């Protein structure tokens, strides 16, 4: 069959779920040419994931849409573990200490998150092309030839790069000859999105430990909740009922919820698996196409969205000729271990929720200890909310300040030159890298601007006004302290909010070296 088109600068994103939508939005925002296709005839109405964790909120804030997500959300400030239906939690962990500007979890139906993301994608001028299914693809050194079945039949098109965000049954994954590796025994849960009547405040997410299965109640806005309970293998062809879920809630969750109308009820089989590699030359896998695991801590969609944010700025630079393709190896290097840890952690949590016999005794002892060791509880909360994600080099010692690979910390009293409060995520709404420079004169700034070039923006940080219009005012010197710069130095923040390069001096050579290592071309402007 003849090629219909050849677009070597274009990235084809396959799948308009939360991960493909985020990838397309971020690719476009960071200056890439994008085409986004989905096999469905229109948006999926499936309720699915609900938790939006703080790190994901930071990304959504940088994309400029967090307020729109908040409008659909129930705010959660605690995660409680209840043993065998008791009203009093064995352990209550709060979000008060997570290292984020957003110290809360947002519970939002996935349909609403996707609807906001669709607005962002189309706002960047990218059409969401439903009714286009990728059936096959063949990558080579110069591009990827894709077989697409669309409204007018099957055709071949050639793109520079492909992002496989086509979910757990990914055709892209199959086409590059890889597969999920892991445990496929399958655990079944009943999932319900229902109206609820309860005395319990809606600000806590409650996990119930029970040898009969265990599960969780995730409050939603407007007296609704998502209820998940592990069950045995359901009879083929059967669907759950509200009465069945009410019985499980009464038996395993202390009967604290009276269920009303169900908006969505389904059985869900979860597995634990991951592909060995996320990068296959010019094809990159993200989200459920790359990793699947139980929904216990609500991390599936979050991990996928964060894959997309990590990948998009790199692929935008590479596909537009502003960086070497080797930069894409860091996508696999950084995100594969995160995915592996999520698969392992959620599998452990699932096992713990339903443990019986000696395993249950150990778990109950562990929960008791957790209740008395706040630092351990905070660490667990940081892991669950994904605020512990860092791409630090192995063996990096613990420090009181952020180091290269860490998420760039927010600074509480940061102001613009006109005195308006601002935050790192607000600054990251501008595409490209951000170079925060402390203690610099105009000559230092000029030299740094020369080296950074079109890769991003140089932002001087000063302690008081009057300040140049592009400067930030940091009266308490928090940037210097939290970024480990002291009185003089600079920190290069990547477009996904992670620290790329830090120097305690104003000499631009470390910045030059960073650019050289990653083949970052500072001269080319965004397309
Ligand atoms: C029933 C259910 C309940 C869940 N509950 C939770 C939960 O409580 N918490 C949680 O964190 N996660 C949950 N998940 C997982 C969560 O929904 C996923 O992690 C998330 O949707 C992953 O997003 P994605 O974009 O990678 O994939 P998907 O959302 O699956 O999107 C993939 C898209 O690709 C499209 N596509 C597929 N094949 C092709 C093709 N060949 N060509 C073109 N397009 C294609 C599909 O139509 C789809 O729109 C649940 C999943 C299910 C199924």
Same domain, 27 and 171: yes
Which residue, among 54, 46, 151, 160, has the nearest Cα to 99 in the 3D structure? 54
Give dist(CA 98, CA 38) in Å, integer: 36
The residues, any chain, with a CB within 8 Å of residue 78's CB and separated by 6 or more, are 92, 93, 94, 95, 203, 204, 205
Same domain, 421 and 337: no
For 63, 243, 313, the CA distances from 319, given in Å and listed in that order, are 20, 53, 10
Token pair 């480990």 in the structure block, residue: 484
Residue that wins the pLDDT comparison between 51 and 352: 51
Residue 457 — very low, low, confident or very high, per pLDDT cuts 50/70/90? very high
b/e code 493-527 from CB counts within 10 Å (16+ = b): bbbbbbbbbbbbebebebbbebbeebebbbebeee
User: Which of 15, 44, 109 is the best mutation target for the ligand 1 pocket, counting ligand atoms within 8 Å of the beta carbon and taking the most?
Assistant: 15
Give dist(CA 407, CA 191) in Å, integer: 34
Which tokens sit at 320?
């537009």
Same domain, 173 and 312: yes
Give dist(CA 84, CA 97) in Å, integer: 28
- The closest-lying atom of ligand 1 relative to the alpha carbon of residue 44 is 49
pTM of the model: 0.96
Lowest mean pLDDT among 224-238, 257-271, 297-311, 346-360: 346-360
- Cα 63–chain centre separation: 13
- Mean pLDDT of all residues belonging to the chain: 93
Same domain, 429 and 286: no
For 43, 280, 291, the CA distances from 337, given in Å and listed in that order, are 31, 17, 11
Same domain, 428 and 340: no
- For residue 289, the CA-to-ligand 1 centroid distance in Å is 9
Show which of 302, 320, 354 is a domain's final residue: 354
- For residue 300, the CA-to-ligand 1 centroid distance in Å is 9
Which residue, among 236, 256, 231, 238, has the nearest Cα to 246 in the 3D structure? 256
396 pLDDT higher than 90: no
Does residue 304 come out as left (phi exceeding 0), alpha (psi in the -120 to 50 range) or beta? Answer: alpha
User: Which of 52, 269, 288 is the best mutation target for the ligand 1 pocket, counting ligand atoms within 8 Å of the beta carbon and taking the most?
Assistant: 288
- For residue 238, the CA-to-ligand 1 centroid distance in Å is 22
Within 10 angstroms of residue 357's Cβ, the number of other Cβ atoms is 8
Write the burial class of residue 365 (CB in 10 Å: 0-12 exposed, 13-18 middle, 19+ buried).
exposed
For 100, 134, 285, 443, the CA distances from 474, given in Å and listed in that order, are 18, 50, 40, 21
Show which of 354, 370, 402 is a domain's final residue: 354
Which residue, among 148, 153, 128, has the nearest Cα to 136 in the 3D structure? 148
- For residue 17, the CA-to-ligand 1 centroid distance in Å is 6
What confidence score (pLDDT) does residue 527 get? Answer: 46
Range of the domain at 478: 415-517
Same domain, 29 and 116: yes
Same domain, 27 and 114: yes
Residue 115 — very low, low, confident or very high, per pLDDT cuts 50/70/90? very high
Residue nearest to atom 31 of ligand 1 (CA): 17
Q: DSSP letters of 425-444?
A: HHHTTSSSEEEEEES--HHH
- Ranges assigned E (strand) in 112-201: 128-130, 133-140, 143-150, 153-164, 181-197
Give dist(CA 164, CA 393) in Å, integer: 27
User: Which of 271, 295, 335, 353 is the best mutation target for the ligand 1 pocket, counting ligand atoms within 8 Å of the beta carbon and taking the most?
Assistant: 295
Residue nearest to atom 30 of ligand 1 (CA): 167
b/e code 46-83 from CB counts within 10 Å (16+ = b): ebbbbbbbbbbbbbbbbbbbbebbbebbbebebbbbbb
- For residue 478, the CA-to-ligand 1 centroid distance in Å is 40
What confidence score (pLDDT) does residue 295 get? Answer: 78
Domain membership flag for residue 17: yes
523 pLDDT higher than 70: no
> Residues 59-87: what's their mean pLDDT?
94
Show which of 334, 354, 374 is a domain's final residue: 354
Which of 16-20, 374-378, 383-387 has the highest average model confidence (pLDDT)? 16-20
Residue 467 — very low, low, confident or very high, per pLDDT cuts 50/70/90? confident
Same domain, 347 and 422: no
- The closest-lying atom of ligand 1 relative to the alpha carbon of residue 110 is 17
Write out 374-407 in H/E/C secondary structure: HHHHHHHHHHHCCCCCCCCCCCCCCCCCCCCCCE
What confidence score (pLDDT) does residue 364 get? Answer: 83
Q: Which residues line ligand 1 (CB under 6 A)?
A: 14-20, 37-40, 44, 48-50, 110, 133-134, 165-167, 171, 191, 266, 268, 287-288, 295, 298-301, 304
259 pLDDT higher than 80: yes
- The closest-lying atom of ligand 1 relative to the alpha carbon of residue 15 is 34
CATH assignment at residue 60 = 3.50.50.60
For 407, 439, 442, the CA distances from 506, given in Å and listed in that order, are 22, 8, 11
Residue 524 — very low, low, confident or very high, per pLDDT cuts 50/70/90? low
Helix axes 442-452, 509-517, angle to 10 degrees: 10
522 pLDDT higher than 80: no
Give dist(CA 129, CA 145) in Å, integer: 18
Decide: 27 and 124 in contact? Cβ < 8 Å.
no
The residues, any chain, with a CB within 8 Å of residue 35's CB and separated by 6 or more, are 7, 10, 11, 12, 13, 126, 129, 159
Domain membership flag for residue 251: no
Domain membership flag for residue 230: no
CATH assignment at residue 435 = 3.40.30.120
pLDDT in tens, 174-221: 999 999 999 877 789 999 999 999 999 999 999 998 888 888 999 999
pLDDT in tens, 280-330: 999 999 999 999 988 777 789 999 999 999 999 999 999 999 999 999 999
372 pLDDT higher than 60: yes
Q: What domain count does the chain have? A: 2
Beta strand pairing call for 433-438 and 456-462? parallel
- For residue 167, the CA-to-ligand 1 centroid distance in Å is 5
Same domain, 349 and 429: no
Which tokens sit at 467?
């300040």
For 120, 207, 223, 361, the CA distances from 262, given in Å and listed in that order, are 30, 20, 12, 35
Which residue, among 290, 281, 316, has the nearest Cα to 164 in the 3D structure? 290
Same domain, 163 and 46: yes
Domain membership flag for residue 239: no
Residue 366 — very low, low, confident or very high, per pLDDT cuts 50/70/90? confident
pLDDT in tens, 479-519: 999 999 989 999 999 999 999 999 999 999 999 999 998 88
- For residue 374, the CA-to-ligand 1 centroid distance in Å is 35
For 62, 441, 509, the CA distances from 458, given in Å and listed in that order, are 18, 13, 15
Same domain, 446 and 349: no
For 248, 353, 476, the CA distances from 356, given in Å and listed in that order, are 18, 9, 52
Task: Cis check for the bond before 320: say yes or no (omega within 30 of 0).
Answer: no
User: Which of 110, 150, 155, 225 is the best mutation target for the ligand 1 pocket, counting ligand atoms within 8 Å of the beta carbon and taking the most?
Assistant: 110
């Amino acid at each position: 069959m003849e090629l219909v088109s050849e677009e070597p600068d274009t990235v084809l994103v396959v799948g308009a779920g939360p991960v493909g939508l985020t990838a397309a939005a971020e690719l476009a925002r960071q200056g890439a040419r994008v085409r986004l296709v989905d096999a469905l005839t229109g948006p999926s109405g499936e309720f699915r994931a609900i938790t939006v964790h703080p790190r994901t909120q930071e990304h959504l804030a940088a994309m400029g849409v967090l307020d729109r997500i908040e409008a659909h959300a129930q705010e959660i400030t605690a995660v409680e573990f209840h043993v065998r239906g008791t009203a009093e939690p064995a352990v209550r962990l709060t979000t008060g200490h997570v290292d984020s500007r957003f110290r809360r979890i947002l519970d939002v139906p996935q349909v609403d998150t996707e609807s906001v993301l669709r607005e962002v994608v189309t706002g960047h001028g990218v059409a969401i092309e439903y009714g286009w299914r990728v059936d096959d693809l063949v990558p080579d050194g110069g591009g990827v030839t894709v077989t697409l079945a669309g409204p007018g039949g099957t055709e071949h098109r050639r793109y520079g790069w492909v992002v496989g965000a086509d979910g757990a049954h990914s055709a892209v994954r199959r086409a590059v000859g890889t597969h999920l590796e892991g445990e496929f025994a399958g655990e079944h849960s009943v999932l319900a999105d229902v109206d609820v009547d309860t005395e319990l405040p809606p600000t806590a997410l409650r996990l119930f430990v029970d040898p009969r299965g265990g599960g969780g109640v995730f409050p939603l806005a407007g007296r609704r909740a998502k209820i998940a309970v592990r069950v045995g293998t359901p009879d083929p062809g059967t669907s759950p009922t509200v009465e069945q879920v009410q019985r499980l809630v009464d038996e395993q969750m202390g009967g604290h919820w009276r269920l009303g109308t169900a908006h969505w009820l389904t059985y869900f089989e979860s597995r634990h698996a991951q592909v060995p590699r996320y990068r296959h030359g010019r094809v990159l896998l993200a989200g459920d196409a790359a990793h699947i695991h139980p929904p216990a801590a609500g991390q599936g969609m979050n991990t996928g969205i964060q894959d997309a944010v990590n990948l998009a700025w790199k692929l935008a630079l590479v596909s537009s000729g502003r960086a070497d393709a080797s930069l894409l190896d860091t996508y696999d290097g950084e995100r594969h271990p995160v995915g592996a840890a999520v698969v392992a952690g959620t599998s452990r949590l699932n096992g713990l929720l339903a443990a019986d016999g000696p395993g249950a005794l150990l778990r109950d002892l562990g929960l008791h200890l957790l209740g008395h060791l706040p630092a351990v509880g905070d660490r667990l909360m940081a892991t669950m909310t994904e605020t512990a994600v860092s791409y630090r080099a192995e063996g990096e010692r613990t420090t009181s300040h952020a180091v290269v690979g860490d998420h760039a910390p927010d600074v509480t009293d940061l102001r613009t030159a006109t005195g308006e409060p601002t935050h790192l995520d607000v600054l990251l709404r501008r595409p490209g890298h951000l170079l925060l420079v402390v203690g610099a004169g105009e000559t230092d700034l000029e030299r740094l601007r020369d080296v950074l070039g079109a890769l991003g923006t140089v932002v001087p940080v000063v302690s008081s006004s009057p300040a140049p219009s592009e400067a930030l005012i940091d009266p308490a010197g928090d940037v210097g302290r939290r970024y480990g710069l002291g009185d003089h130095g600079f920190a290069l923040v990547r477009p996904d909010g992670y620290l790329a390069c830090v120097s305690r001096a104003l000499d631009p050579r470390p910045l030059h070296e960073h650019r050289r290592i990653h083949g970052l071309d500072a001269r080319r402007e965004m397309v």
